[in-house]
Structure 1
Amino acid sequence: MTERRHRAVYLTGPTASGKSAVGVFLARRLGAEVIALDSMTLYRGMDIGTAKPSMAERGGVPHHLIDVLDPWESASVAEYRRLAEAAAAEIEARGKRVLFVGGTALYLKAMLRGLFEGPGADPGLRSRLEAEARRVGSPALHARLAAADPVTAARVHPNDERRIVRALEVHELTGRPLSSLQSEHASPAPAGTMVFALDRPRPELHARINERVDAMFEAGLVEEVRGLLSAPRPIGGIPAQGVGYLEVIDHLQGRTTLPVAVERVKARTRQFAKRQMTWFRGLTEVQLRAVDPSASAESIADDLFRELTTGSSDR
């Protein structure tokens, strides 16, 4: 029997490609509920900078895994996958289809191909590594990880102590890089798993990104971040590294001006979108769908729905 996560439909694409709006129309046509495939909309109070769809924008379609964590918390990929599988089971129990919508490529890969859990934690080793991180700083441990496992180091932020420690722990316990072990658990999803990625022309996507960033600042992104920093428990290290949040924090703490922060958010968002497309092109399950700049979200959803219901595919 096909696993639930492979019966689901996936709609992905780079940031600002229009996934959320298309997803609502597609969900209505499929009789589906949406599970957010996004590592940042998990957090409560982080609405503007994550482009979290409002209740109005969700159009009456139930959305899951939005606002499930406080901003001082963090979720591993394994935790996301557990939450997503539980949500999918509940949706199917109601007789609805499951539609994943979002652009976190690592989450997408974990849902499609499974996840390498790795060896169990070694309390003594982990305590030693955590103590070392406190003594010399996470960036120093990240440099060691880069020497031992450059592939993992390239996708882990130098301040992400938890993931750095785990990668070093796995390397010391197994004698092998975490990335090498993970690659052995990377078989593509079964044929027929439906995964669509919206692919807009780069100039148009960049214009949409710039417009979105301007709109975020006009909507109060600086005030949102100021509130997160002044909360009784301030924003945690991982969400604070999110695109937009890091740059605004730098501004609020006097390291840059507001105009410079705005331009840095635009540049970093464009870079992020480029990395997303590299990920999507590297997953054989993903079907890129070129988007006509003049097409509405509803017409894009109609095209995808016809493909899903007729079984036609460009594969």
Structure 2
Amino acid sequence: MHRSVYLTGATASGKTAVGVALAQHLDAEVIALDSMTLYRGMDIGTAKPTLDEREGVPHHLIDVLDPWQSASVADYRGWALQTAAEIEGRGKRILFVGGTALYLKALLRGLFEGPAADTALRQELEAEADRRGPEALHARLETLDPRSAARLHPNDRRRLVRALEVLALTGRRLSDLQTEHEQPAPDDVAVFALQRPRPEMHDRINRRVVAMFREGFVEEVRRLRESDPPISPVAAQGVGYLEVLEHLETGIPLERTISLIQARTRQFAKRQETWFRGLSEVKPWPVATSEPPGVTARALADRISSGN
């Protein structure tokens, strides 16, 4: 994963168009770094790149799940590793494009999964929780692994059991094992986040949301709601989908729904930027107002080629 190139940034920052142009410069194939474009039929609300927008550049990990399915971060990472190996086998470079920060972190720093569950040990811990309450497990964890205990609620039975199970199976504290997977990737990994001035980002978001409704967003959500099986609660929480579902179910005026989605998308973009600032591997890449995607991509390609 450290040989790959990563292009990220907040929603509506222009990743898709810049990513296609950058892939052409690098002779790369694109792996989507997005938790929502995994879903088939969720096209408009996710701003999924169309075949025309991809301009012949192969894109992977798009349309791999039905809307009633779900995937973990570990699932995505496994698919990404397999796809990356296949791309390298074709002699191409790997370019990740997208804005799901948890996926980015898992690719750059790995993901702690821990030992497989021990049925007998887990049953023993569960029985103790039944007899004495989960608070007793929390008290024991405070003695054995204070950092894990500090971040877990005394009633979080499932995670308390898992923390004690890992300790018993490995002889090491869960907090120590997880910390090992918090180490940043090497400095020379190419990870760039597109950045635009806040007023411009707000304008781009507002215009994108309006365009989504012109393209048939309400009809897309209605089909997902009426499908058999219907859209899953996880997928339905996506920005925009939740608000349109409420519009269909409660009759909230469409104008109000559009405003709510614009506001929620702006808030989401702000959270994404906070996430990226928290990852030391991410290098900010300012984009000038009205700068064509090809110009941005050429500058990025030159930077990547120079190794700086």
TM normalised by structure 1 equals 0.82
Instruction: Identify the residue that residue 301 of structure 2 maps to in structure 1.
Output: 305
Give 2:107's aligned amino acid: M
TM normalised by structure 2 equals 0.83
Does the aligned pair in 1 maintain the 2:188–2:307 contact within 8 Å?
A: no
Does the aligned pair in 2 maintain the 1:199–1:291 contact within 8 Å?
A: yes
Does the aligned pair in 2 maintain the 1:118–1:170 contact within 8 Å?
A: no
**Using the alignment, how far apart are the partners of 2:207 and 2:19 within structure 1?**
21
Instruction: Identify the residue that residue 259 of structure 2 maps to in structure 1.
Output: 263
Instruction: Identify the residue that residue 186 of structure 1 maps to in structure 2.
Output: 182
**Using the alignment, how far apart are the partners of 1:209 and 1:165 within structure 2?**
41
Does the aligned pair in 1 maintain the 2:7–2:96 contact within 8 Å?
A: yes
Shift in CA distance, 20/169, structure 1 to aligned 2, threshold 3 Å:
farther
Shift in CA distance, 230/118, structure 1 to aligned 2, threshold 3 Å:
same
Shift in CA distance, 165/39, structure 1 to aligned 2, threshold 3 Å:
farther
Cα shift readout 1:179-230 (whole Å, capped 9, x = no counterpart): 8864441100122110000010000001000000010111111100000010
Q: Are 2:207 and 1:211 equivalent residues in the alignment?
A: yes
Q: Are 2:32 and 1:36 equivalent residues in the alignment?
A: yes
Cα shift readout 1:53-77 (whole Å, capped 9, x = no counterpart): 0000000000000000000000100
Q: For structure 1, which segment, 203-212 or 184-193, has the greater mean C-alpha deviation from structure 2 after superposition?
A: 184-193
Does the aligned pair in 1 maintain the 2:36–2:46 contact within 8 Å?
A: yes
Shift in CA distance, 77/91, structure 1 to aligned 2, threshold 3 Å:
same
**Using the alignment, how far apart are the partners of 1:179 and 1:241 within structure 2?**
30
Shift in CA distance, 258/98, structure 1 to aligned 2, threshold 3 Å:
same
Moved over 6 A (4+): 122-126, 148-153, 175-180
Where do 5+ consecutive residues of structure 1 fail to align?
Answer: 130-147, 154-163
SS in 2 for 1:10: strand
SS in 2 for 1:34: strand
Question: Paired residues, what number?
Answer: 279
Superposition RMSD in Å? 2.6
Cα shift readout 1:112-148 (whole Å, capped 9, x = no counterpart): 000011353477979xx9xxxxxxxxxxxxxxxxxx9
SS in 1 for 2:51: coil
Instruction: Identify the residue that residue 52 of structure 1 maps to in structure 2.
Output: 48
Does the aligned pair in 1 maintain the 2:38–2:61 contact within 8 Å?
A: yes
Give 2:162's aligned amino acid: V
Q: Are 2:162 and 1:170 equivalent residues in the alignment?
A: yes
CA drift at 1:311: 2.1
Q: Are 2:268 and 1:276 equivalent residues in the alignment?
A: no
